[in-house]
Structure 1
Amino acid sequence: MSEFIHAQALIQGFERFSPKSYAIEGDKVGLQIGTLNKKVTKLMTALDVNEQVVDEAIENGVDFIIAHHPLIFRPLKALTTDESYGKTIQKLMKHEITLYVAHTNLDVATGGVNDLMADALGLQDTDVLAKTSEDPLVKLVVYVSKPDADRVRQAIGDAGAGHIGDYSHCSFQTEGTGSFIPGDGTDPFIGKQGEREFVEELKIETIVPKSIEKKVVRAMLDAHPYEEPAYDLYPMANEGDALGLGRIGYLEEGMTLDAFCEHVKKAFDVPFVRAVGDGNRTVKKIAVLGGDGNKYTMTALQKGADVYVTGDLYYHVAHDAMMEGLMMVDPGHNVEKIMKQATADYVKNNILKNSCLTEVVASAIHTDPFRVK
């Protein structure tokens, strides 16, 4: 039966992609206005939430917003509806629009803002620019009857288990014999109540990032034929993937800084950029970090970047970078708008079921406060 997704299920699905634990300490993420105790009829993704964006939501019947930039960041000393900020919050509450924020956790997430920016620039062989944490690995071990092993193995691989380098669906198996006696009240897939049964089974082992452990286990349980599958999860000594802000990688072919500036303008759909460095120098190794990346300028230099792409560059930071020979390109903070359509697509393709009635749209409001004259 077709129905609207519940807000709690929506956010549970979203946080498997962008967990709040990824956020930088002190960041304001998660539920900011409204409730998760409701069905979501129409969701909108937004970079910023201001009065114009909320008016857009009201006009389009939106009752849930996933935004990148927090509306509430500092403690409120007063909330008056005579000002736009107060009006914005009043309108959200009056029209029962829930506001959920994914900020630095969406920057860090694989497939999040910084990966989207790196992809838009065409970077290859990318790595994390500034490591903030690591996604530890666990080993999943599950026992399953031979005829059903391929289905279970495929399900856990499709859920993200078994990724080693550029290889996916990696696993190891050993053969053995399982035995059990189904008790009263059971409905055994194999055997009869009260009688000992012996089954030729396979023991399947695979690697799982901790961040998707629950997703993989759920996929395994859904695919497994037994009422009570036997499985184990063990911590591993292998290092997991680094998580962090920004990305660093390579252009397929080097180009001059001036040519790269044109490339950045086209990639991020911006009318201008600010550039630091000789326009005739060739650039190939590129660091990129969405938003205000001033504090990571020396990180980009230390990692050998030819040019660092980030927003809100400070005058003295640019001077210091120029003295050290690091070129820089500032396309503005608003380039993070790249997350609007991508996040909407993620929700539609990975969280909502085909029969779900919930609509998903990206905000069409341009929230960049700057214009060029």
Structure 2
Amino acid sequence: MFAKGQTVISCMEQLAPKHLAVPDDRIGLQLGSLQKDIKHVLIALDVNDEVVEEAIALDADLIIAHHAIIFRPLKSLNTDQPAGKLYEKLIKHDIAVYISHTNLDSAQGGMNDWMADALGIQNGIPLEEVYTETFSKLVTFVPATHHQAVLDAVWGAGAGTIGQYAKCSFSNEGAGTFLPQEGTKPFTGKPGKLERTEEVRVEILVPSSLASKVVQALVKAHPYEEPAYDLYPVEAKGQAYGLGRVGKLARPQTLGEFAEVVKRALDVPFVRVVGDDSRMVKKAAVLGGSGSRYVNKALFKGADVLVTGDIDYHTAHDALMAGIALIDPGHNAEKMMKAKTADWLRTKLEEKRCETQVHVSQINTEPFRLV
């Protein structure tokens, strides 16, 4: 069977949840409908006319791209203009477009982790935090016969993880009372009669972003018609997610040597370098895309060099004066997301036994060329 559109996106959002995006970023479904079977998905960095023609040739139903096709609210949709023509072609061929941008950048195991790994940056932490996981405490009461089933359900929904420890919970036994009213169908006892039953109190930590999903799993697995539960915020903080990565290199090297590493690892024909080629680089920062405004953040976190795209002339001079080196591989260095995202999505759909095919765009959307 083929995956439904929402199933494909649900898999994608396991990798790059929407709440990891920076405010006002243009992510999510930008064009078309997900209310259909998806036979072919095309993963692209950008969506231009060549990519759309590629999608048409593949008979693709959905394009998942990194960069938005609609950057600001539309005042009109003029199909005589280039953007309007592009939207028209997509609509006529029933191709939906879904964008995963800064949420993919921030995600654990996403864009910036991929780039950091490629460059040999070890144990990278975010250059700028976007989202820090908060927690709630879930407390519920369940008969001993269903204790393990309820635990398995809420664990499966994402509850009970503390750092590197999974399936964490606390349980103790006690007695619960309830009086079923007329018209109820209690799991134990009878309507109109006060019931006293042995129950287990369960306490478990729940990421706030998963609270709704966990409660749904609890209610589904619980044998009672009206399971009692409390869900309240706690002070504990979880993992921080954010843009960029900064950490020590696997081995110290000169800036000139590291520039060659960047060029090979990110598969770009050239890089622009700011700084003395002979200076030693021990700690590096990387940020996919346009990172001019993150130079000071990289400097503050002790980086000897920042690898990012779209460095402008004045930022380069400021970096020289501040004593931090820069390597600019261009914005298109993010193209590695195509194969990485496709591999992730393909695996998830295969686990669901879906026949949907996931394709990597072969179009080079780099707009610049050297002459």
TM range (shorter): 0.7 to 0.9
User: Structure 2 vs 1, CA of residues 105 and 199 (structure 1 numbering), >3 Å: closer, same or farther?
Assistant: same
Q: Which residue of 1 aligns with 2:3?
A: 4
Secondary structure, in 3 states, of the residue corresponding to 2:166? coil
Q: Which residue of 1 aligns with 2:110?
A: 112
Give me the whole-angstrom Cα distance separating, in 1, the residues matched to 2:165 and 2:302.
28
Matches within 5 A, 1:1-373: 2-5=1-4, 7-12=5-10, 14-15=12-13, 17-76=15-74, 79-82=77-80, 84-180=82-178, 191=188, 193-194=190-191, 199-350=197-348, 354-372=352-370
| 2:241 maps to amino acid | L
Give me the whole-angstrom Cα distance separating, in 1, the residues matched to 2:330 and 2:171.
51
Q: 1:207-228 CA deviation, whole Å, 9 max, x = no partner?
A: 2222222333344445545554
Shift of 1:176: 2.1
Of residues 12-21 and 316-325 in structure 1, the stretch that sits farther from structure 2 once superposed is 12-21
Give me the whole-angstrom Cα distance separating, in 1, the residues matched to 2:92 and 2:256.
49
Give me the whole-angstrom Cα distance separating, in 2, the residues matched to 1:227 and 1:120.
52
| 1:91 maps to amino acid | K
Give me the whole-angstrom Cα distance separating, in 2, the residues matched to 1:293 and 1:159.
36
Give me the whole-angstrom Cα distance separating, in 2, the residues matched to 1:243 and 1:137.
15
| 1:122 maps to amino acid | G
User: Structure 2 vs 1, CA of residues 281 and 363 (structure 1 numbering), >3 Å: closer, same or farther?
Assistant: same
Of residues 69-78 and 39-48 in structure 1, the stretch that sits farther from structure 2 once superposed is 69-78
Give me the whole-angstrom Cα distance separating, in 1, the residues matched to 2:349 and 2:219.
19
Secondary structure, in 3 states, of the residue corresponding to 1:239? strand
User: Structure 2 vs 1, CA of residues 232 and 41 (structure 1 numbering), >3 Å: closer, same or farther?
Assistant: farther
TM-score (norm 1): 0.86
Give me the whole-angstrom Cα distance separating, in 2, the residues matched to 1:119 and 1:221.
41
Is this contact kept in 2: 1:51–1:84, CA < 8 A?
no
Secondary structure, in 3 states, of the residue corresponding to 2:244? strand
Give me the whole-angstrom Cα distance separating, in 2, the residues matched to 1:349 and 1:148.
33
| 2:132 maps to amino acid | E
| 1:191 maps to amino acid | T
| 1:4 maps to amino acid | A
Is this contact kept in 1: 2:2–2:39, CA < 8 A?
no
User: Structure 2 vs 1, CA of residues 331 and 150 (structure 1 numbering), >3 Å: closer, same or farther?
Assistant: farther
TM-score (norm 2): 0.87
Give me the whole-angstrom Cα distance separating, in 2, the residues matched to 1:252 and 1:223.
47
Of residues 53-62 and 281-290 in structure 1, the stretch that sits farther from structure 2 once superposed is 281-290
User: Structure 2 vs 1, CA of residues 116 and 201 (structure 1 numbering), >3 Å: closer, same or farther?
Assistant: farther
Give me the whole-angstrom Cα distance separating, in 2, the residues matched to 1:323 and 1:76.
42
Of residues 290-299 and 125-134 in structure 1, the stretch that sits farther from structure 2 once superposed is 125-134
Give me the whole-angstrom Cα distance separating, in 1, the residues matched to 2:231 and 2:345.
29
> How many residues in Structure 1 have an aligned counterpart in Structure 2?
370
User: Structure 2 vs 1, CA of residues 226 and 344 (structure 1 numbering), >3 Å: closer, same or farther?
Assistant: farther
Structure 2 residue ranges without an equivalent (≥5)? none
User: Structure 2 vs 1, CA of residues 175 and 342 (structure 1 numbering), >3 Å: closer, same or farther?
Assistant: farther
Structure 1 residue ranges without an equivalent (≥5)? none
| 1:311 maps to amino acid | G
